[in-house]
Amino acid sequence: MTDSLMNFYMDLHIHIGRTKSGRPVKITASNKLTLQAVIEESINRKGLDIIGIIDAHSPEVIEEIRELITSGLAEELAEGGIKYKEQLTIILGTELEVLDENCQGPIHVLCFFPTLDLMDQFSKWCEKRLKNIQLSSQRIYVSGRELQYKVKELSGLFIPAHVFTPFKSLYGKGVYVSLEEVFDPNLIDAIELGLSSDTTMAEKLPELNNYTFLSNSDAHSVTKIAREHQIIVLLKPSFLEIDKALKEQGGRRIKRNVGLHPKLGKYYQTVCSICFAPFQNGICSNGHKGKSIKGVAERIEELSFKQRNELTTYKRKRPPYLHQIPLEFIPGCGPKTLERLLEEFRTEMVVLHEAADVALFNVVPEKVAVKIVEARKGDVNIQTGGGGIYGKIK
């Protein structure tokens, strides 16, 4: 490894559906989403360099990772993280739910640790403060600040998850106006944007000016891995280097955020809770008078108005946000076409970011190649999503 900065593809929010024994971890995730399946998909099809296993607190997951190390397939890095076969760096993380007396509603957060021993210590601490240590995204019965203090005591990173989604997020329903209602702002290392938002939208909130933005997949199935990701600039793929990138030290940084166009996300627009039709000015477009599911776009405008009196001394220079359309969203890009692309270009990262336009036309039908090129440029017509239903490419 040289001492020059390099680009790496990273997705820090990938769940484990089942352990190799078949025991559930993330209940809502696919049964096929095992640790080994995540590793193989990340290397062989997605082309990722760094992944965050976000259920690494689960004792059986800890044991599976330990087995990889003892078998010689993986090793712990001196600067934090697990290197698998010199091909992939695994960052150990967990997702927890906070609902203390200061919360308006539940908030999901991500906690990452540099070593397996520290993750094991954190798991044992959590076990006494939640109901089922085996499962993902469990409610932990401590305050938001107490959780932050423990994460920092164990040299961890603390990142609020998918902060704008209507359910179980910081701004969705967690706080009334400000993150300071629940958390110590000085102990937050980054902000995960999540579906239905991007940098331009999040920048409307002055209190987020000091934080690096992350775009992760929150994958509940193998195919969703790297649906959202980032290109990160590091000397080497390790926990310490990622920490420096979040602080933008020594040239390390997020070079580009990559994710669904917000309108393709499941929560962009406000919709009727009965029929999921657009809901504007208190009126459902189909005439229903029931409740609505507030969309991310409306919630951000609401928060922006409430935070309007906050002063910022500068506006942070941020990396571009690429509105990438995953290949599974491309009309005509079915399993056979996808296999043809992967046979030629090896991974989805190459297809999405690196393959020349002319090369795509030489591999797949013209109408599919045209759609991929248009998607890479963001030149698509979208039917807006909302209320838990994805948008579509028209």
- Encode pLDDT of 281-334 as tens digits: 778 988 887 788 899 999 999 998 888 766 555 678 899 998 887 887 788 888
pTM: 0.93
Chain centroid offset of residue 93 CA: 12
In angstroms, rounded to a whole number, what is the distance separating the alpha carbons of residues 10 and 243?
13
pLDDT at 291: 84
Three-state secondary structure readout of the chain: CCCCCEEEEEEEEECCCECCCCCECCCCCCCCCCHHHHHHHHHHHHCCCEEEECECCCHHHHHHHHHHHHCCCEEECCCCCEEECCCEEEEEEEEEEECCCCCCCCEEEEEEECCHHHHHHHHHHHHCCCCCCCCCCEEECCCHHHHHHHHHHCCCEEEECCCCCCCCCHHHHHCCCCHHHCCCHHHCCCEECCCCCCHHHHCCCHHHCCCCEECCCCECCHHHCCCCEEEEEECCCCHHHHHHHHCCCCCCEEEEEEECCHHHCCCCCCEECCCCCEEECCEECCCCCCCEECCHHHHHHHHHHHCCCCCCCCCCCCCCEEECCCHHHCCCCCHHHHHHHHHHHCCHHHHHHHCCHHHHHCCCCHHHHHHHHHHHHCCCCEECCECCECCEEC
pLDDT higher than threshold 80 for residue 47: yes
Averaged over 174-180, what is the pLDDT? Answer: 95
pLDDT higher than threshold 70 for residue 147: yes
pLDDT higher than threshold 80 for residue 253: yes
Averaged over 380-385, what is the pLDDT? Answer: 85
What whole-number percentage of the chain has pLDDT above 90? 75
pLDDT at 81: 98
pLDDT at 314: 64
Convert the pLDDT of each residue in 115-126 to its tens digit.
Answer: 999 999 999 999
Convert the pLDDT of each residue in 326-343 to its tens digit.
Answer: 887 788 888 899 899 999
